[in-house]
Amino acid sequence: MNDNFVDYVKIFVRSGKGGAGSAHLLRVKYNAKAGPDGGDGGRGGHVILRGNGQRWTLLHLKYTKHVFAENGQNGGENLCTGRQGSDQVLDVPLGCVCRDAETGEILGEVTEDGQMLIIAKGGRGGLGNDHFKSATNQTPRYAQPGEPSEERWVIIELKMLADVGLVGFPNAGKSTLLSVVSAARPAIADYPFTTLVPNLGMVKYHDDQSFCIADIPGIIEGASEGKGLGLRFLRHIERNSVLLFMVSCEQLNVAQEYNVLLQELRRYNPELLDKQRLLAVTKCDMLDDAMMQQLSRHLPKDVQTIFISAVSGLNMSQLKDTLFRMINAEA
pLDDT digits (tens, 9 = 90+) for 99-109: 999 999 999 99
Residues of the chain with CATH 2.70.210.12: 8-158
Name the DSSP letter for residue 38: P
The number of angstroms, rounded, from the C-alpha of 291 to the middle of its chain's C-alpha atoms is 43
pLDDT in tens, 8-65: 999 999 999 999 999 999 877 766 667 899 999 999 999 999 999 998 889 999 999 9
Separation of alpha carbons 49 and 108, rounded Å: 10
Q: What is the CA radius of gyration of the chain?
A: 29
Q: How many helices (H) does the chain have, and how many strands (E)?
A: 5, 16
Cα gap 316→205, rounded to integer Å: 12
The model's pTM: 0.74
Cite the residue boundaries of each domain of the chain with CATH code 3.40.50.300: 164-330
SS (H, E, C) 144-197: CCCCCCCEEEEEEEECCCCCEEEEECCCCCHHHHHHHHCCCCCCCCCCCCCCCC
pLDDT exceeds 80 at position 244: yes
- Average per-residue pLDDT for the chain: 88
Helices (H), the chain: 174-181, 230-234, 254-268, 289-296, 316-330
**β partners of residue 215:** 166, 199
Q: How many residues does the chain have?
A: 331
* CB hemisphere CA count around 166 (13 angstroms): 31
CATH class of 8-158: mainly beta
164-330 adopts what CATH topology? Answer: Rossmann fold (3.40.50)
